[in-house]
Amino acid sequence: MKPVIGTVVSNKMQKSVVVAVDRLFHNKLYNRYVKRTSKFMAHDERDSCNIGDRVKLDPSRPLSKNKHWVVAEIIKKARIYSPQAAAAAIAASASTSSPSIADSSTAQSQAPPSTTS
């Protein structure tokens, strides 16, 4: 077997990850390309993979009933959402916003409402 590249879809196990590998093949009857996804369990010795990471898997001897692959390298780390980082980004963008927009909105709110009879 040759090494494959896929995306980590689960890392809830200890030292194990589930990797989804996509492949395209040509359907001769319909003359279209078809996408199929295979899920492989892989051994992650350092437990460093997170969901969304692009990883390269190498084949190995059977490590358990379903594990026949080893994570060779992490090609690209996924961007992980953290509430603290999101709050800091929102605060930074709010402090750099133009004051003219904020002044015009307060001026409109302080104006007396027009009466229509």
Encode pLDDT of 15-64 as tens digits: 999 999 999 999 999 999 999 999 999 999 999 999 999 999 999 999 99
pLDDT top residue among 91 and 114: 91
Say what the pLDDT of residue 90 is. Answer: 85
Say what the pLDDT of residue 49 is. Answer: 93
Say what the pLDDT of residue 111 is. Answer: 62
Say what the pLDDT of residue 45 is. Answer: 93
pLDDT digits (tens, 9 = 90+) for 78-113: 887 777 777 888 888 887 765 555 555 555 556 666
Task: Give mean pLDDT, residues 68-77.
Answer: 96
Say what the pLDDT of residue 97 is. Answer: 67
Contact 80/49 with Cβ under 8 angstroms? Answer: no
70 has a pLDDT exceeding 60? yes
**β-strands 4-13, 16-27 pairing:** antiparallel
The C-alpha angle 52, 78, 91, rounded to 5 degrees, equals: 125
